[in-house]
């Protein structure tokens, strides 16, 4: 193997490390948000039942808790999208590096069987933008629907608890 190929492989390894890290970070955000939403909404419901006459700034405490939950959800959704954008870029970089590495290694199979990013994603290099790719991703719409449902639930509960 040439020095150039070894350098490309080292860059590819770092890219794969970043991909794995960002994937774990996204999972962490999702778990944190889902857990926090369920816990805080349960606390708000308990406050509405056990302390219905507690008001802060002319707002029932349980309604205030739901407003605060919305203020926590929005930055968490933005953080999740940011991690996803970085993951998208890292996957593109990894695919590009694999396309450069593959012709230089001794071929013992098809690219989709040897190169891990190609085999996991089933993609060649992406040429479109992030938002073009998200427009074709059902997973993106499912995730945004879940986050949207949580925000709508908080708004509905705020009005219910007022």
As a whole number of angstroms, the distance between CA 146 and CA 90 comes to: 25
Per-residue pLDDT of the chain (162 residues; tens, 9 = 90+): 789 989 999 999 999 999 999 999 999 999 999 999 999 999 999 999 999 999 998 999 999 999 999 999 999 999 999 999 999 999 999 999 998 988 887 766 776 667 888 788 877 777 678 999 899 889 999 999 999 999 999 999 999 998
Rg (alpha carbons) of the chain, rounded to whole number? 23
3-state secondary structure of 55: strand
- What pLDDT was estimated at residue 103? 86
For helices 138-161 and 3-50, what crossing angle results, to 10°?
20
What's residue 56's pLDDT? Answer: 93
- DSSP assignment letter at 107: P
Following DSSP, what letter does each residue of 56-74 receive, concatenated?
ETTEEHHHHHHHHHHHHHH
* pLDDT score for 111: 66
Please give the model's pTM, rounded to 2 decimal places. 0.86
Query: According to the model, what pLDDT value does residue 112 have?
Result: 65
């Amino acid at each position: 193997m040439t020095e150039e190929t070894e350098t490309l492989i080292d860059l590819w390894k770092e890219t794969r490390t970043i991909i794995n890290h960002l994937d774990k970070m996204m999972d962490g955000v999702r778990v944190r948000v889902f857990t926090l939403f369920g816990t805080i909404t349960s606390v708000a419901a308990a406050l509405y039942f056990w302390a219905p006459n507690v008001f802060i700034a002319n707002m029932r405490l349980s309604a205030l808790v739901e407003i605060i939950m919305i203020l926590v959800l929005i930055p968490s959704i933005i953080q999740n999208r940011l991690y996803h954008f970085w993951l998208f870029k890292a996957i593109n970089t990894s695919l590009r590096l694999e396309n450069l590495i593959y012709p230089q290694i001794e071929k013992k199979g098809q690219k989709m069987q040897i190169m891990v990013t190609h085999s996991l994603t089933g993609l060649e290099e992406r040429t479109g933008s992030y938002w073009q790719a998200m427009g074709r991703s059902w997973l993106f719409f499912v995730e945004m629907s879940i986050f949207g449902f949580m925000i709508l639930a908080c708004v509905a509960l705020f009005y219910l608890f007022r």
